[in-house]
């Protein structure tokens, strides 16, 4: 079994409140326990996700942002950014890419975690949400090559947000994955964090479904529960090790 990789820092980019808890919160919780500095960027506030009589988008955004913060705190993440792009209408525009480049250069993560923009058909009873695809596409385009190119979005350089190329990208798994992270010790934290999204869970407890998904991912992997990822290494390990200490310390908490 491969040793558990622990990055110094990781930035998770997703479309909606609760996306991270459904996909990769178990891995994030393990990283946090090991000392990884983690931040979340949520492209929308999920403001069309509460279909109740009299509910306004403004009030729904308040509710869902509060739930997202509570869920993040359960995992141990306290740097949460809401871009407040329109829920249900997210598009991978150049403007969104620039916003994500800003956050990557601000946070300077070793790893960026996001979704897979190529997944449309996600089983017999689900089509992958267009916001998920748009957020993932914008996140990947921001991560490479944009965030690492100093002459792109030069105005960010003038603000002191220097170019930064993350070491790795972790794409949350659907079909093709090449890394399986053991989350036996953190699956209960993942479930508790997901329960914090009360506006979405209502009277439904997601525990059995999450355990079933994680057990399926772990099948044949000598672990009980897992999350899976496709991993892309943008900076090889030896090159990363030779980066100067001053560059590594540019990270801002």
Q: Left (φ > 0), alpha (ψ -120 to 50) or beta: where does 60 sit?
A: alpha
Say whether pLDDT at 245 is over 90: no
Whole-number pLDDT of residue 76: 98
Q: What is the mean pLDDT of residues 145-166?
A: 95
pLDDT digits (tens, 9 = 90+) for 110-128: 999 999 999 999 888 889 9
Say whether pLDDT at 2 is over 70: no
Q: What is the mean pLDDT of residues 189-201?
A: 97
**pTM greater than the 0.85 cutoff:** yes
Share of residues in the chain with pLDDT > 90 (%): 87
pLDDT digits (tens, 9 = 90+) for 23-36: 999 999 999 999 99
Whole-number pLDDT of residue 246: 46
Whole-number pLDDT of residue 1: 53
Give the CATH fold of the 9-246 domain.
Rossmann fold (3.40.50)
Q: Which residue has the higher pLDDT, 250 or 127?
A: 127
Q: What is the mean pLDDT of the chain?
A: 93
**pLDDT level of residue 176 (50, 70, 90 thresholds):** confident
pLDDT digits (tens, 9 = 90+) for 54-112: 999 999 999 999 999 999 999 999 999 999 999 999 999 999 999 999 999 999 999 99
Whole-number pLDDT of residue 243: 67
Contact residues for 166 (Cβ-Cβ < 8 A; gap 6+): 11, 104, 109, 110, 111, 112, 143, 144, 147, 148, 234, 235
Domain boundaries, the chain: 9-246
pLDDT digits (tens, 9 = 90+) for 206-235: 999 999 999 999 999 999 999 999 999 999
Residue for token pair 């994955």: 177
Q: Which residue has the higher pLDDT, 245 or 38?
A: 38
Whole-number pLDDT of residue 251: 43
Instruction: Give the CA distances from residue 91 to residues 15, 42, 49, 166, 217, in Å, rounded to whole numbers and listed in that order.
Output: 10, 14, 17, 23, 30
CB 172 within 8 A of CB 229: yes
Instruction: Give the CA distances from residue 124 to residues 115, 121, 128, 133, 134, in Å, rounded to whole numbers and listed in that order.
Output: 20, 8, 11, 18, 22
């Amino acid at each position: 079994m491969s040793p558990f990789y622990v990055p110094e820092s990781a930035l998770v980019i997703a479309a909606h409140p609760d996306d991270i808890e459904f996909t990769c919160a178990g891995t994030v919780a393990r990283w946090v326990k090991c000392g990884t500095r983690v931040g979340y960027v949520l492209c929308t506030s999920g403001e069309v996700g509460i279909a109740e009589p009299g509910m306004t988008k403004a009030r729904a955004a308040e509710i869902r942002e509060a739930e997202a913060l509570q869920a993040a705190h359960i995992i141990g993440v306290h740097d949460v950014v809401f871009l407040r792009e329109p829920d249900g209408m997210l598009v991978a525009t150049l403007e969104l890419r620039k916003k994500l480049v800003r956050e990557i250069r601000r946070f300077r993560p070793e790893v960026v975690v996001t979704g897979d923009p190529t997944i449309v058909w996600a089983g017999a009873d689900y089509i992958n949400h267009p916001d998920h695809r748009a957020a993932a596409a914008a996140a990947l385009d921001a991560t490479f090559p944009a965030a690492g190119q100093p002459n792109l979005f030069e105005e960010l350089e003038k603000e002191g947000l220097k170019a930064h190329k993350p070491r790795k990208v972790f794409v949350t798994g659907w079909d093709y994955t090449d890394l399986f992270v053991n989350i036996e010790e953190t699956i209960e934290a993942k479930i508790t964090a997901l329960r914090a999204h009360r506006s979405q869970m209502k009277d439904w407890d997601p525990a059995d479904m999450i355990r079933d998904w994680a057990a399926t991912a772990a099948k044949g992997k000598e672990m009980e529960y897992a999350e899976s990822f496709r991993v892309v290494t943008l900076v090889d390990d030896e090159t990363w090790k030779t980066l100067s200490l001053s560059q590594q310390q540019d990270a801002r908490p």
